[in-house]
A and B are shown apart, each in its own frame.
Chain A
């Protein structure tokens, strides 16, 4: 794969959320509004790029027996630093993201890319892989966040676009959109659409249940 491919393929072809199904938990939690989704996207992308770079830099010297601990230590440190920065300079945002920035540590996506890619590849591709996966994650988060905020409140980035019924307009906000299950519905629809468009992503069951008739024969 060329360097550019590392960055482009996770956007749709190998998207961490829709194909690898990683990082779903945070994708549900922070997408009630577009602004939280954007901040979380930036935070996760920065963590992925930095952790990919650092782990790849150290990859020849990370003893296999303690590699997971070392990876987690590096990821956790980067996450804490970012959380502290948010608390210092974007206090309102850090309050709204509450525990989810801290939980980037446990986001399967970060450790997944460190273990699967950064441990085996030079720094440049690892950084680009982190960037690509971060952007792929961001793409889905921003999409889901946009749909949920607009249909749930009639606003985008906190700016009221259509007047709601409560304020004398015509728009009836869909309360469900502000609840976690709606993120599942939207993600499900996105996964479905992507797999209609890219049939090679479809997963077929390895075994099929036979009918009772087959068994008796």
Chain B
């Protein structure tokens, strides 16, 4: 046994000014630290994911509470939460997720058969790949669509912004926007979470008369029903929200689905 550890002891016996010792110590410390950090990150991931999922659900519920009359409507229809449906983003039809299990966005994005790569021109939201399927949440009463919530995400300033966009039954008026997850600078970009800012969204229109996507986050003085004031000092985050909505409402996002819904109904 003693022989086995002899090189180790030899290494530690070297002078601290010795080059091998310096490089060796750097590598050793880096390796042990990296292992410790990776190990905790991997082991704790399920717990953190569960926390984040619960948080997203809570924010979705909180958004429903801000919509006037929505809770009463749900009570009337006898449901306590929104109905989740899977949508095929390419042709806009409802579908069941492959395999029938829970839809896993991360897995779909890794799978070339379940997602498409976006070209730089079409990737205005900065998300690189888009899954073929997406969940949508809707509320219906006697077969009539009352509210539809689209989960959207895109690049912010230094984090991925995830939001839920609720559209009214006409599919052109925004009922509410809720930020479900973001990690931008506290005090600047993170202010997109503030109720005062989010209160600007209800009532805005997503498209103009010609049908072109018109919703936009502007700097100072939003004057039309298609414009929302950005946050000063957080241009990138504000633009991120605008681009995200433009992408997800466009032809590569929920565009085909919304079109089909307007034409054929549920």
Q: List residues of A whose CB falls within 8 A of some B CB.
A: 58, 60-66, 69-70, 73-74, 76-77, 80-81, 84-85, 87-89, 91, 98-99
Could you show 22 A-B contacts with beta carbons less than 8 Å apart? A58-B29, A61-B12, A63-B17, A66-B22, A66-B25, A66-B26, A70-B25, A70-B26, A73-B29, A73-B30, A77-B34, A77-B37, A80-B37, A81-B37, A81-B40, A84-B40, A84-B48, A85-B40, A85-B44, A87-B48, A87-B51, A89-B47
Do B26 and A76 touch across chains, with their CB atoms under 8 A apart?
no
- Tell me the bound Cα distance from A84 to B44 in angstroms: 7
Closest-CB distance, A115 to chain B (whole angstroms): 16
- Tell me the bound Cα distance from A66 to B25 in angstroms: 9
From B16, B33, B48, A73 is in contact (CB under 8 Å) with B33
Interface of B (DSSP majority class): helix
Within 1-36 of B, Cβ neighbours of A (below 8 Å) are at 12, 16-17, 21-22, 25-26, 29-30, 33-34, 36
Assess whether B67 is interfacial by the CB under 8 Å rule.
no
Interface of A (DSSP majority class): helix
Which size bracket describes the interface of B in this complex? 20 to 34
Please judge, given known A-B contacts A81-B36, A98-B186, whether A65 and B47 are in contact too, CB under 8 Å. Answer: no
Do A77 and B186 touch across chains, with their CB atoms under 8 A apart?
no
Closest to A91 in B: B51
B16 contacts across to A, CB distance below 8 A? 60-64
Task: With A65-B17, A80-B40, A91-B48 given, name 18 new contacts (CB 8 A).
Answer: A58-B29, A62-B25, A63-B17, A70-B29, A73-B33, A76-B33, A77-B36, A81-B36, A84-B41, A84-B44, A84-B48, A87-B44, A87-B48, A88-B44, A88-B47, A88-B48, A89-B47, A91-B51
Closest to B190 in A: A98
From B21, B34, B36, A63 is in contact (CB under 8 Å) with B21
B21 contacts across to A, CB distance below 8 A? 61, 63
Assess whether B55 is interfacial by the CB under 8 Å rule.
yes
- Tell me the bound Cα distance from A65 to B18 in angstroms: 10
